[in-house]
Structure 1
C-alpha cells in the first residue's frame, strides 16, 4: 500500500470519537421495576430493531468510522479499586478476543480478575449464538447465578456477546431473568464503562443493543492470556449470509481495519516477545474488500512476512474468497504457516447451494488443487455440518467421499440445528435425530482414521514445537503445537515454556504426538 492509498483511506474512514452521536438504532433502556410483560413491551417498542434478513442483505457499504481516542471517562477511573471481575467466555476466537478487550477496559478502571464467581463484583457472560447448545449452556449458567445475586444484590451480572444481538434471547432474559443488571451487544463493547456506571448507580436493568454495525475503535486496551500466542482482529462481521448462520446478524457487515493499524499491532506484539499471531475475522480472507483502495489479505500477509515473529496464522476462511494471490503469498513460507482451515460444510453441490455457500463441490476441489500445487506439504482442516434439511443419504455420502479425496487431517463436525432468525430456521428440520447421529458417528470415525493416518508420518521425525505450558493431564509433561497445528507432549524443563524447541516424535496417536526433547536445538527468538 502506497502513501497516497493510505492517506485516501484515512480521509474517508477516520473521525474523532467526539463526532459520535446517538444513533437511531441505539437503544438504552432502563427497565427493571416493571412486570415482565411491560418490560418486553417497552423494550420492543423502542428503537431497537431485531435482525432482518431482507434489510441486512440490502445494506450498503457505508463508510465505517475509525476512532483512535478511546478513553475511560474520568468519573469511572479507579472505580474498580479493591474490586474484582470475572468474564466467562463461550464460542469462537473472536469472543475470546472480545473478552481480552473487556478485561483490558475493566483493568484500566481498577478492577482485578478472578475466576471465583462468589468473589466477583462484576460477572459478565460473553456469549455465542452460533449453536443451540451454546445458548443452553449460557441460560444454565444464568440460572446458577440467581442465588448469588439474591445473596449479594450489589454484584453486577451482565450478558454480552452474540446472544445479546438476538431478539428472542433479550426477550427471554427480560421475561424470565429480571435479576440480570446489564445486556449489551457486540458493537458497543467500547461503551462498557458507561454501561457499568448505569448498572451501578441506576435501579433498573440496562439494555444497550445496537442493530447498526459498530465503528472501529482502535486503541482499546487488552489483557491477553499469556505472552506466547496472540489474537489480532483484522476485520469484523460477515456478508455471506449462509442460510444456517446467525453471524451476519449478530456481528454485522464486513468492515476492515486499516492495514497500518494491524501491522503496528503485530509489530508491537513481536517486540513484546510473542511467538505466534493469529489474524482473526469471521470471514478473514474477505479482508480489505470494503476498503477504498485495493488491498487484501494477500497484501497484508506479505507485510506479516517482514515482521520478526516466528509464526503467523489466520482464521476463518471462506472458500469463495480464497484467491490466487493469497495462495501465492502463503507459499512463500517463512513465518506464514501452511496449515489452512478451510470450512467446506458439505460435499454435495446441491446442499451447498441451499446453504448459500456460493461454490460447488467442484469449485472447492479446484481450490484445494491450487493450494496443494503451490504448497505440496500443506495441512488442510475443515468444518462439516451433517443432517441439513432434506440432506439425502446420497448427499451425505458425497461429504464422506470429499473428506477422503481432500485428505483433511482434522475436522470440526456438527449436527445441524436451526438458529432462530436465519432462513433455514423457517424450513422443516426433517432429518430424524437418530439419522443425524448415525451420520455424525460415521463421519467422525472417518475423521479419526484420517487424523491417525496423518499422524503416522511424524514417527521418528524432528518437529519444531512452540511450548505453551504444562500438559492438562500431567504437570510433569510440557505440551505445545507444531507449525502444522499438531499437539505434542514431551518431558522438558519448564523454563522452555514460551520457546520454540525441536522435539523428536517417539509415538503417534489419533490427535496427539509424544516426543523427546532434542537437547541441543532450542530456537531463541
Structure 2
C-alpha cells in the first residue's frame, strides 16, 4: 500500500481517455487508495495526457510543467504521466522532464497501479469509478485503430484495432446500469468495424441490440468511420426506442483528391450515398460530423466544394478543426504544411458561420414541439439538459425554466420548446410527463 498517501488524477482529452482514467481509479480504490479533489491536497499526481493535435498536446505539456514545479518544490512526493502523449513521446519527455518519476503509455494500467501501491485485479477489470455525472457514461467497445489516415497518429499511440468481447461489454454495461447510468455512449476510435477482428464479421448491430435489452433509457452511437459502416444498425435504431436517433460519423472532407491523400478509403460519391441512405432509412436521425480544413494542398476551390457540400447536405451537428501537422503521421512525412495558419483559421471560421446558419434554421423547426430532455445540471432556477439528438459536452443544450419545480440532474422531463438559437433550445416544463404525448418531431 502507499501508506495512506492521497492521489490526484488529472484526466485530459477525449471520452476514451476518461474511460482509462475511470478504470485506474476503480482499481486503485479497491486497494484502499484515496483520491484528492485537487492537486493542493495530493501527495502524488497522475496526469492522463492527450496527444491528438497541437492544442491538446500544448494543454498536456502545460499541465505537466505545472506539476513539475510542484515536484521541484517538494509539494508532492511523486509525479506520473500516462496516456497518448506519453506513449508517443516517451523518450523525448524523459529527456526534457527528468522531474517526472515515470512515463507510461496507454496500456500500462497494472504497472501504474503497482507504483501507486495497488495490485491490478483482472477479475474486476470491468469496474470503474465514474468521472462523468452519474446519469451518463461511456462504454469503450474497442481499443486502437487499424485505419491509415494520413493526418492521425492514433495507431502509433494505441496500437491496432482490438474489439472487446460482447460478453465483457455486457458485463461492464450491467455494472454501469446498476450504478444508475441512464445514458450509455458507445465509443471507440472507430465503432464501424467492431467485432471483425474477433468474430470475423461486423457485430456492432448485435452488440447494440443486446445492450438495448439491458434497460438503459438512452444508448448513443459515436465515432463511426464512413467506410464499411454497418447500415443495419440504423434499422435497429428505428426499431428500438432507447437507441437515440443520433450518429456521430466524422467525414473529414468531401473532395476526392483530399480524401485520397488522407487515405480515408472512401470517396465523395460513396460518402454521399452512405449519408443519404442513413437519412432515407431513418428520417428522424440527427447526424454529427467533423471536418478538417487547411489540409496540405487544399485550394480555395476545394474548400469551396466542401462549403457547397455542407450547405447542400445540412448536417445537424458539425465540428471543424484546422489541419494540424503532426509528427508520426504520413502527412507529416510526405506533405508540406503549405496552407498558412491564418488561412486555416479563416476557413474554420467561414465553415462554422455556415453551420451556425444551418443550426439556427434546424433548431427553429423545434419551436412549438415537445421533446424529452435529460437534465445534466440545475442552477439558478434553470435546468440545463439535452435531447436525444445531443451528446454530452459537444452538442446543443436545452434550457428549461424550473418555475419552482423540483428537478435534479439525471431526471427526464418533457419540455415544450418556445425559443431557439444556433446551439440552444429554450423551453418550459410540460406536465404530467407520464401521459404527455410527444408531438411529431420535425424532420
Shared fold (TM-score, shorter chain, > 0.5) = yes
CA distance in 2, matches of 1:436, 1:174: 33
Provide the secondary structure at the position in 1 that maps to 2:301: helix
TM-score normalised by structure 1 residue count: 0.77
Match of 1:446 among 354, 376, 380: 354
Match of 2:337 among 429, 438, 447: 429
Residues 237 and 282, structure 1, Cα contact 8 Å, conserved in 2: yes
Alignment CA distance shift 1:522-1:107 (3 Å) = farther
Match of 1:157 among 76, 79, 100: 79
Q: How does 1:32-51 map to 2 (within 5 A)?
A: none
CA distance in 2, matches of 1:88, 1:102: 12
Match of 1:186 among 95, 106, 114: 106
Q: Is structure 2 residue 115 aligned with structure 1 residue 195?
A: yes
Q: Is structure 2 residue 141 aligned with structure 1 residue 221?
A: no
Match of 1:109 among 31, 38, 41: 31
Alignment CA distance shift 1:270-1:105 (3 Å) = closer
Alignment CA distance shift 1:232-1:454 (3 Å) = same
Provide the secondary structure at the position in 2 that maps to 1:347: coil
Q: Who wins on radius of gyration, i.e. which is larger?
A: 1
Q: Is structure 2 residue 369 aligned with structure 1 residue 467?
A: no
Residues 177 and 216, structure 2, Cα contact 8 Å, conserved in 1: yes
Determine the structure 2 residue equivalent to 1:367.
Answer: 274
Q: Deviations over 1:188-210 (max 9, x none)?
A: 12332223359xxxxxxxxxxxx
Determine the structure 1 residue equivalent to 2:414.
Answer: 502
Shift of 1:503: 0.8
Provide the secondary structure at the position in 2 that maps to 1:521: coil
Range that drifts further, 264-273 or 283-292: 264-273
Over aligned residue pairs, what C-alpha RMSD do you find? 2.0
Provide the secondary structure at the position in 2 that maps to 1:175: helix
Q: Is structure 2 residue 10 aligned with structure 1 residue 84?
A: no
Q: Is structure 2 residue 49 aligned with structure 1 residue 127?
A: yes
Determine the structure 1 residue equivalent to 2:185.
Answer: 278
Q: How does 1:69-80 map to 2 (within 5 A)?
A: 76=1, 79=2
Match of 1:405 among 295, 312, 316: 312
Query: Runs of 5+ in structure 2 lacking a partner?
Result: 391-395, 436-443
CA distance in 1, matches of 2:406, 2:85: 40
Alignment CA distance shift 1:80-1:236 (3 Å) = farther
Determine the structure 2 residue equivalent to 1:490.
Answer: 400
TM-score normalised by structure 2 residue count: 0.91
Shift of 1:494: 4.9
Q: How does 1:372-387 map to 2 (within 5 A)?
A: 372-387=279-294
Residues 44 and 76, structure 2, Cα contact 8 Å, conserved in 1: no
Q: How does 1:204-243 map to 2 (within 5 A)?
A: 219-224=125-130, 225-243=132-150
Alignment CA distance shift 1:308-1:340 (3 Å) = same
Determine the structure 1 residue equivalent to 2:61.
Answer: 139
Residues 410 and 450, structure 1, Cα contact 8 Å, conserved in 2: no
Match of 1:520 among 408, 432, 437: 432
Shift of 1:176: 2.2
CA distance in 1, matches of 2:123, 2:310: 40
Q: How does 1:334-353 map to 2 (within 5 A)?
A: 334-353=241-260
Shift of 1:388: 0.3
Q: Deviations over 1:432-470 (max 9, x none)?
A: 122212211111101111111111011121110111122
Shift of 1:108: 2.1
CA distance in 2, matches of 1:412, 1:132: 17
Range that drifts further, 427-436 or 264-273: 264-273
CA distance in 1, matches of 2:434, 2:33: 38
Determine the structure 1 residue equivalent to 2:203.
Answer: 296
CA distance in 1, matches of 2:318, 2:431: 34
